[in-house]
């Protein structure tokens, strides 16, 4: 029994490493140019480049409106627009600042409420590359009826030359991978529940 437990433990570790390695390589892939969508959402946290990219896509008319989700409550509209170099007229007409979200789950909830209010059916999602899988998974769960186009922002944390030699970078990526697995597990449970419900309805 002890030998079996040891082999199971080794298998679990190898499976985790293989999955993490695949995750780390996937988040480093260069993003494709996002298609035209109805709106754009950029998540705060991590690099400021997330927000600057969202503004750029708005200026390029990739979407008709931009939500910046998770803005610190003490930051005023004017202060944020100044940092991002946003024209006040553009901000007034086409940018919404969400201040309710405090984490990725909150981002998804805030974005879902905003998208439904405006009846959007397609969104471009902007966040850091390592954060994209988890953000997209959370938003897909909160907003299953909307088509989501990921547009990750490249960061140094996903550079193989860094995370393969720097423990802090590797830990950061591994932590994100674990959080992503948790969401996928929650998604599987939800899908299982939906399946049970459908089976009961058919009966």
Tell me the domain boundaries of the chain.
33-154, 158-203
**The pair of three-digit structure tokens given for residue 90, joined into one six-digit string:** 């553009």
pTM of the model: 0.87
Q: What is the pLDDT of residues 6-59, one digit of tens each?
A: 777 777 778 888 988 999 999 999 888 999 999 999 999 878 899 999 999 999
**Alpha-carbon distance values, 127 to 4, 133, 159, 188, 191 (Å):** 42, 10, 16, 24, 26
In the block, residue with structure tokens 């754009």: 40
Cβ contact 85:58 at 8 Å: no
33-154 folds as Rossmann fold (3.40.50)
Task: Give the residue among 30, 43, 24 at the shortest CA–CA distance from 173.
Answer: 24
Q: What is the pLDDT of residues 85-140, one digit of tens each?
A: 998 889 999 999 999 999 999 999 999 999 999 999 999 999 999 999 999 999 99
User: Angle of helix 77-84 relative to helix 49-59, nearest 10 degrees?
Assistant: 80
């Amino acid at each position: 029994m002890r030998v079996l437990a040891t082999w199971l433990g080794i298998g679990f570790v190898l499976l985790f490493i293989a999955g993490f390695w695949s995750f780390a390589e996937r988040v480093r892939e260069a993003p494709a140019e996002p298609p035209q969508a109805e709106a754009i959402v950029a998540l705060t946290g991590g690099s400021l480049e997330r927000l600057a990219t969202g503004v750029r896509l708005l200026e390029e008319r990739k979407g008709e409106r931009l939500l910046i989700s998770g803005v610190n409550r003490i930051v005023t509209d004017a202060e944020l627009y100044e940092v991002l170099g946003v024209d006040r007229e553009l901000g007034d007409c086409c940018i919404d600042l969400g201040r309710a979200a405090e984490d990725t789950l909150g981002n998804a909830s805030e974005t879902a409420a905003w998208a439904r209010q405006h009846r959007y059916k397609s969104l471009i999602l902007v966040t850091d590359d390592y954060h994209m899988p988890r953000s997209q998974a959370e938003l897909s769960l909160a907003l299953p009826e909307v088509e989501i186009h990921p547009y990750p922002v490249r960061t140094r944390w996903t550079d193989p030359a860094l995370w393969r030699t720097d423990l802090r970078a590797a830990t950061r990526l591994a932590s994100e991978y674990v959080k992503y697995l948790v969401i996928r597990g929650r998604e599987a449970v939800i899908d299982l529940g939906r399946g049970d419900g459908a089976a009961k309805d058919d009966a």
